[in-house]
Structure 1
Amino acid sequence: MEPRYDTLFYDGQCPLCAREIRTLRKLQRGNLIFADIHEQRDGSSTLPSHEALLRRLHLMTWTGEWVTGLQANVRAWSHTPFGFLFRPLLWPGIHGLASRIYENWADKRYDRKYACAIDRKAA
């Protein structure tokens, strides 16, 4: 059977993200690839925009499907022995609230760290 590798795109310039990635690297079972979005080439037709990658966590599954936000986080942790602890975040009833919390946190993180820099690049 062919190995199945998911790729997690993360913000290597964010201390909180870097800490979580260090933990994931230690705990994962060897089938999760880590890609710092600041090291990706701009203009790649297969990647979401740099801004989109900064706004939300992105994971590309081994089949080429993109998973974002809370679902990307749960899928990344599913590559560890602790994945079962994250699965309830996708259950009906919990998922809606958990997604809103994640989206709110991600928006605040982006606005505080990157909004000005991205706006300057576009001008």
Structure 2
Amino acid sequence: MQDVPAPPQPAVTVWYDGTCPLCLREIALMRRLDRAERIGFIDLTPPDAACPTDRQLMLERFHARENGVLLSGAAAFAAMWRAIPALRPLGLAARQPAVLWLLERTYRAFLKIRPLLQDLLR
């Protein structure tokens, strides 16, 4: 019997809140753009979902793992963007501290209005 090679691991793993209408739209778009399937998407909705850190924290902020490093917020978005050719330049730009700082500030502002936006989409 021949050994069957394991499927390749995704370059980036993303965890998302499957009950959040904004998150679902964003993830749907990223899935469409990720034609090479370089991103593994994990919905945190099921209680048994694989969760590398505090579940509540992961539901409150966007998380991704790139090269074995767990990232959150803008850094996690940037990792996801780097895995998608069309968004890669933005993800690479986010490696610059000033760009990442600005993206993180924008993300934190977004988190403050996220509940209102979620209510509007429901």
Corresponding position: 1:86 with 2:91? yes
Specify which of 29, 32, 36 is matched with residue 26 of structure 1: 32
Question: Per the alignment, do residues 41 and 33 of structure 1 end up closer, same or farther by CA in structure 2, a change over 3 Å counting?
Answer: same
- Shift of residue 36, structure 1, vs aligned partner: 0.6
The root-mean-square deviation of aligned C-alpha atoms, in Å, is: 2.5
Listed as ranges, the gaps of 5+ residues in structure 2 are 1-5
Q: Percent same amino acid at aligned positions?
A: 27
Rounded to whole Å, the distance in 2 between the matches of 1:95 and 1:15 is: 25
Q: Using the alignment, how far apart are the partners of 2:47 and 2:99 within structure 1?
A: 34
**Whole-Å separation in 1 of the counterparts to 2:30 and 2:94:** 18
Matched, 1:41 2:48: yes
| Cα 1:108–1:50 shift into 2, 3 Å | farther
Question: How many Å separate the matches in 2 of 1:109 and 1:15?
Answer: 10
- List per-residue Cα deviations over 1:25-67 (Å, max 9, x = no partner): 111121211001112527x7x621121011111112353x211
Please report the TM-score for the alignment, with normalisation by the length of structure 2.
0.73
Pairs aligned (count): 109
Pick aligned residue for 1:97 from 92, 95, 102? 102
> SS of 1:7's equivalent?
strand
Unmatched 5+ residue regions in structure 1?
Answer: 114-123
3-state SS of 2:15 partner: strand
- Secondary structure of 2:85's match? coil
Map of 1:104-115 to 2, 5 A cutoff? 104-109=109-114
Q: Which has the higher helix share?
A: 1
